[in-house]
Amino acid sequence: MKYDDATWHSGGDYPAHIPAAAAATHTGMYLVWALLAGLGGRFHGDNSAHDLGALKARTITPGAYLLAACDGKFLDEDLGDEGNAFTQAYFDFETGQYLKDYQLALDQQFSSIYLIADTWKNFDTLKPILDARLAAWRKDRPAH
């Protein structure tokens, strides 16, 4: 299953004055948070160990990671079972809360989410919100 693809955003009515790479920032922030929170799948442990190390060292930004390690695509194989279950509930652009939280946390002065910089400072602003959403989801999730 494909959750997102940077090319879905950078075509059509995408603002011409914004670099296409900016279309990866919002999803890169989420994916990197999920990976660093231990929600990643085998792909990132086996195939992207070097890139994952760069994330932990913060030598690559979240959006750049999505573009470099995932070709701009966010797939279910990027996550483990718990990560996918949470992502299906929270990340979905139609029914989930992620984009709303992203905009509330980082989009205060911008006319477009694509203007939000792909920085670790912005990641650090967003991270506590994502941590809280995951904790609440885990608390409310029925035991299986």
DSSP string, 40-58: B-HHHHHT-HHHHHHHHTT
Residue 41: the pLDDT is: 85
Residue 20: the pLDDT is: 83
| Selected residue with higher pLDDT from 113 and 76 | 76
With respect to residue 140, please indicate whether it lies within any of the assigned structural domains.
no
- Number of folded domains in the chain? 1
Helix ranges (DSSP H) in the chain:
6-10, 25-36, 42-46, 49-56, 62-70, 81-90, 98-106, 120-140
Measure the CA–CA gap between 43 and 143, rounded to whole angstroms. Answer: 27
pLDDT tens digit string along 99-116? 999 999 997 666 778 889
The proportion of the chain whose per-residue pLDDT surpasses 90, expressed as a percent, equals 61
Residue 83: the pLDDT is: 97
Which domain does 118 fall in, by range? Answer: 2-10+19-135
With respect to residue 143, please indicate whether it lies within any of the assigned structural domains.
no
pLDDT tens digit string along 5-59? 888 887 666 777 888 889 999 999 999 999 999 999 876 665 566 677 888 899 9
Task: Read off the pLDDT band of 132 (50, 70, 90).
Answer: very high
Residue 46: the pLDDT is: 58
